[in-house]
Amino acid sequence: MSQPVELPDQIHVGTVIDESHSLASVSDKVGGIVLRRKITLGWVFGLLISFAVLQNLMAGATWLLLKGVGVWGINIPVGWGFAIINFVWWIGIGHAGTLISAILLLLNQSWRNAINRFAEAMTLFAVMCAGMFPVLHTGRPWLAYWLLPIPNTMSMWPQFRSPLLWDVFAVTTYLTISAVFWYVGLLPDLATLRDSAKSKTSQVIYGALSMGWRNSARHWQRYEKASLLLAGLATPLVVSVHTVVSFDFAVSIIPGWHTTIFPPYFVAGAIYSGFAMVLTLMIPVRKFYGLDDIITMRHLNNMAKVTLATALIVGYGYCFEAFFGYFSADTYEKFMIWNRMTGPYAPFYWMLILCNIITPQFLWSKKIRTSPGILWCISIVVNIGMWLERFVIVVTSLHRDFLPSSWGMYWPTIWDWAVYTGTLGLFMTLIFLFVRVLPMITIFELRMLLPGASVKEPVAQ
């Protein structure tokens, strides 16, 4: 493999790992969070809050199953409410994890090594939350297997020309491959935990999970090959998933949805919201677990730069959406964009412009990119902005389409909010559990960043 291109010093903000670290110290530090760190009150408090919020999902889903999807705010014309908004939002968040773990691996960006495990975990949890929504939106989740092409007594089959079926394939493939990639990456670190665990229980659990990994050079050679192949396969996969999600919209004939810009615009938006979520989670974790020597200013700076770059791509998408509406000479397209900017949902649209286009411009300043507090606030704003974007896309196109006689309005009900906040609770609960039971940083890849890890062969005698 070729060496990463060295940039001039003034572009760097510090190093990718504190220079005082050694092979042993990184293992002990990251492994120690799982094995030796006492359970703190803050962690218990956070977990309890998240778990309490997760109960909203239980209540929301139970009421939904008892009463049917009528308890949600959806109606005709707006048949796709919170369920689709949140599905697209969550899937998008997941995309940053795969981008960091796969695309940056192929591009040889070694700074990714400190954040990829956490980002991949975030991907898995976000996709789990996302998957909940279409299944609940069917109204009869116990029949969800109808989505799969399996022989059945009705001798009916799914429609392979429908983007909704493509979604089933794309999302299940994405979840499977992300989980496999994540677990393969975990193997050597689980072995580290097994070897440094003191209690019998931890030794047995991590021993079983690590599958007897023994750091053999012959294993590493195949392991590296498999990792690269998985990264190479995951890279087009991540692009395809949000492309397929955007096809749900673009293949229809609804004004505002039927555009070819949707796939790239969705993928950029996904990476944008995903990086914002990585920042939202990593900044507190870095502080509470004292990891600023491993997740350095350089990481925050780089992630902020990716956020800014994708914000600009998304901004370009907004401009062209408006331009296409105007330039299409199509009454409905023109009306759609006008209605979006000045109609009943106009505040949502302008809020989204404020959150997604204006706010990230602060990231041009290096000072802001390297101040964790401000960066965290910006990341929250971007998360909200991307959620608003999904709301605007889904609702403003549907609520006033071709026939004024069938126009309507959509407002979420308390049960919409219950399910949505419930998935936030689920996501946070899983994150809280993850940081305590698995190494949240890829230890073996950190070792590769250390100056002592490169080969200086002694002179042959």
- Tokens in use for 350? 């302008």
Q: How far is the CB of 162 from another protein (least distance, A)?
A: 8
Q: How far is the CB of 249 from another protein (least distance, A)?
A: 15
- Write the DSSP string, 394-415: HHHHHHS-S-GGG-------HH
Could you say whether residue 201 binds another protein (CB under 8 A)?
no
Strand segments, DSSP code E, in 4-142 are none
Q: Considering only residues 5-34, where is the footprint of another protein by CB under 8 A?
A: 22-24, 27-28
User: Which residue of 111, 133, 181, 391 would you call a contact of another protein, by CB under 8 A?
Assistant: 181
Could you count the other beta carbons within 10 Å of the beta carbon of residue 85?
A: 23
Cβ burial, residue 248 (10 Å; 0-12/13-18/19+) = buried
Could you say whether residue 244 binds another protein (CB under 8 A)?
yes
Taking the C-alpha atoms of residue 47 and residue 51, their distance in angstroms, rounded to an integer, is 6
Q: How far is the CB of 236 from another protein (least distance, A)?
A: 7
Taking the C-alpha atoms of residue 420 and residue 147, their distance in angstroms, rounded to an integer, is 23
Q: Is 35 or 374 the residue whose CB approaches another protein more closely?
A: 35
Stretch that binds another protein, among 86-94, 183-191, 286-294, 312-320 (CB under 8 A): 183-191
Stretch that binds another protein, among 50-58, 135-143, 421-429, 453-461 (CB under 8 A): 453-461
Q: Which 8-state DSSP code applies to residue 100? A: I
Q: Total residues contacting another protein (rule CB under 8 A)? A: 73
Taking the C-alpha atoms of residue 91 and residue 128, their distance in angstroms, rounded to an integer, is 9
Stretch that binds another protein, among 34-42, 116-124, 209-217, 303-311 (CB under 8 A): 209-217
Q: How far is the CB of 302 from another protein (least distance, A)?
A: 22
Q: Which 8-state DSSP code applies to residue 459? A: P
Stretch that binds another protein, among 91-99, 122-130, 231-239, 264-272 (CB under 8 A): 231-239
Q: Is 1 or 39 the residue whose CB approaches another protein more closely?
A: 1
Q: How far is the CB of 420 from another protein (least distance, A)?
A: 27
The gap between the terminal CA atoms of the chain, to the nearest Å, is 29
Q: Is 27 or 429 the residue whose CB approaches another protein more closely?
A: 27
Could you say whether residue 223 binds another protein (CB under 8 A)?
yes
Q: Which 8-state DSSP code applies to residue 80? A: -
Cβ burial, residue 22 (10 Å; 0-12/13-18/19+) = middle
Could you say whether residue 262 binds another protein (CB under 8 A)?
no
Q: Considering only residues 161-180, where is the footprint of another protein by CB under 8 A?
A: 161, 163, 165-166, 169-170, 172-173, 176-177, 180
- Tokens in use for 23? 């092979």
Residue 37 φ/ψ region, left for φ over 0, alpha for ψ in the -120 to 50 degree band, beta for the rest? beta
Could you say whether residue 454 binds another protein (CB under 8 A)?
yes
Q: Considering only residues 328-387, where is the footprint of another protein by CB under 8 A?
A: none
User: Which residue of 44, 52, 143, 233 would you call a contact of another protein, by CB under 8 A?
Assistant: 233
Nearest alpha carbon to residue 368 among 358, 378, 353: 378
Could you say whether residue 188 binds another protein (CB under 8 A)?
yes
Taking the C-alpha atoms of residue 279 and residue 298, their distance in angstroms, rounded to an integer, is 13
Could you count the other beta carbons within 10 Å of the beta carbon of residue 350?
A: 14
User: Which residue of 52, 106, 107, 184 would you call a contact of another protein, by CB under 8 A?
Assistant: 184
Cα 227 to chain centroid, rounded: 20
Provide φ and ψ at 339, rounded to 5°.
-65, -35
Q: How far is the CB of 134 from another protein (least distance, A)?
A: 16
Q: Considering only residues 390-449, where is the footprint of another protein by CB under 8 A?
A: 444-445, 447-448
Place of tokens 């929250």: 380
The answer to whether 432 touches 43, Cβ cutoff 8 Å, is yes
User: Which residue of 129, 230, 250, 384 would you call a contact of another protein, by CB under 8 A?
Assistant: 230
User: Which residue of 4, 14, 68, 236 would you call a contact of another protein, by CB under 8 A?
Assistant: 236
Could you say whether residue 229 binds another protein (CB under 8 A)?
yes
Q: Considering only residues 124-153, where is the footprint of another protein by CB under 8 A?
A: 149
